[in-house]
């Protein structure tokens, strides 16, 4: 078992010295105790063999909370420990995981205590990237940044990031981190054909000027940018039981737009999912796109998005119009 390093290109994270694979593997959904361990293990090991060596986690991922990290810790101990130096492991803290005020937010206590728990869950001495998961306007940014700096100084993280930050706050965090000698490596926003927020808020330009990369999540818009819902909601689909995608999202307007995008993809010889993944990776500010998978076949299919020619200006204009 070893990455091929032939199928997945690596891209530089901002102005750092770190390269990340164009696709990173996220354990946000389907890696809790409600899914079979052996299936989860096969998918993760297959991702590693393909060259997807960045695995993205968080204390909140489950269910229950922390379960995804505990799962990965088992796989790390059982299968991947000899390859720890080839892995990029990331985790996050700050999204609520309990009723205690110390199980949420951006306080020093919350972030550093969560990181210690995460290291125990994962069975490793350090993570490569430690994120503040969601901005906390009730905590001074200086305190949050100070906790991230401490994580690096204590040897518990090599790099730091932020996630779901507004553009101005991400810029200020980058300034504070730079002043402390621990540059902001990456920001993790939602970005897809159906969610242009990083473009509309100026985050793409801010990433370029501040020197951090973007690791984007939900590039397939929770499955809306696949062919799954073109004819309605199939049995067993995520829209029937997900907290992040509801049946009322599958409207006639959505199906018309998705069908038009699917037509563009078909004319290029690819699937709608492959088109959507290629679309987010077209931007140089995007270091990596987070993908998940419910099977190794689905993972292989999505990775083949890298095999197609670049999108032309005419195709991009059509996508914008849709």
The answer to whether residue 252 sits within a structural domain is no
Low-confidence spans in the chain with pLDDT less than 70: 232-246
The answer to whether residue 239 sits within a structural domain is no
The answer to whether residue 209 sits within a structural domain is yes
Place of tokens 């993944």: 277
Cβ atoms of 4 and 50 within 8 Å: the answer is: yes
The answer to whether residue 18 sits within a structural domain is yes
How many residues belong to the chain?
A: 322
The answer to whether residue 275 sits within a structural domain is no
The answer to whether residue 258 sits within a structural domain is no
What's the CATH code of the domain at 119? 3.20.20.100
Place of tokens 């402390």: 180
The answer to whether residue 277 sits within a structural domain is no
Number of domains in the chain: 1
Cβ atoms of 102 and 109 within 8 Å: the answer is: yes
Q: Residue 44's pLDDT is what?
A: 98
Q: Residue 1's pLDDT is what?
A: 78
Q: In this predicted model, what pLDDT tens digit does every residue of 49-81 receive, in sequence order?
A: 999 999 999 999 999 999 999 999 999 999 999
pTM (2 decimals)?
Answer: 0.95
Q: Residue 249's pLDDT is what?
A: 75
The answer to whether residue 108 sits within a structural domain is yes
Nearest to 180 by CA among 158, 155, 202, 153: 153
Task: Give the structural domain span for 292.
Answer: 10-221+282-309
Tell the burial category of 318 from Cβ atoms under 10 Å away from its Cβ (0-12, 13-18, 19+): middle
Distance between CA atoms of residues 48 and 25, nearest Å: 9
């Amino acid at each position: 078992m070893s990455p091929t390093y032939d199928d997945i290109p690596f891209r530089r994270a901002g102005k750092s010295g770190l390269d990340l694979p164009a696709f990173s593997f996220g354990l946000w959904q389907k890696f809790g105790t409600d899914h079979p361990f052996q299936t989860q293990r096969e998918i993760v090991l297959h991702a590693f063999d393909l060259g997807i060596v960045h695995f993205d986690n968080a204390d909140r991922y489950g269910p229950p909370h922390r379960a995804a990290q505990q799962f990965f810790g088992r796989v790390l101990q059982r299968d991947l420990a000899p390859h720890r130096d080839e892995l990029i492991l990331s985790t996050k803290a700050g999204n609520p995981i309990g009723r205690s005020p110390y199980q949420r937010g951006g306080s020093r206590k919350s972030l550093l205590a969560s990181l210690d728990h995460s290291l125990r869950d994962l069975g490793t001495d350090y993570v490569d990237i430690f994120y503040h998961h969601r901005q906390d306007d009730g905590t001074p940014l200086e305190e949050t940044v100070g906790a991230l700096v401490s994580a690096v100084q204590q040897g518990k993280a090599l790099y730091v990031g932020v996630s779901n930050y507004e553009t101005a706050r991400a810029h200020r965090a980058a300034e504070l981190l730079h002043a402390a000698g621990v540059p902001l490596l990456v920001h993790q926003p939602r970005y897809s054909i159906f969610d242009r927020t990083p473009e509309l808020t100026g985050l793409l330009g801010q990433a370029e000027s501040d020197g951090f990369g973007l690791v984007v999540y939900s590039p397939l818009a929770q499955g809306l940018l696949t062919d799954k819902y073109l004819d309605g909601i199939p049995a067993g689909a995520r829209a029937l039981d997900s907290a992040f995608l509801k049946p009322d999202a599958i409207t006639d307007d959505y199906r018309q737009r998705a069908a038009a995008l699917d037509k563009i993809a078909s004319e290029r010889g690819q699937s709608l999912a492959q088109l959507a993944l290629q679309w987010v990776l077209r931007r140089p500010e995007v270091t990596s796109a987070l993908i998940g998978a419910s099977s190794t076949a689905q993972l292989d299919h999505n990775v083949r998005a890298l095999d197609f020619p670049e999108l032309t200006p005419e195709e991009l204009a059509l996508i914008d119009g849709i």
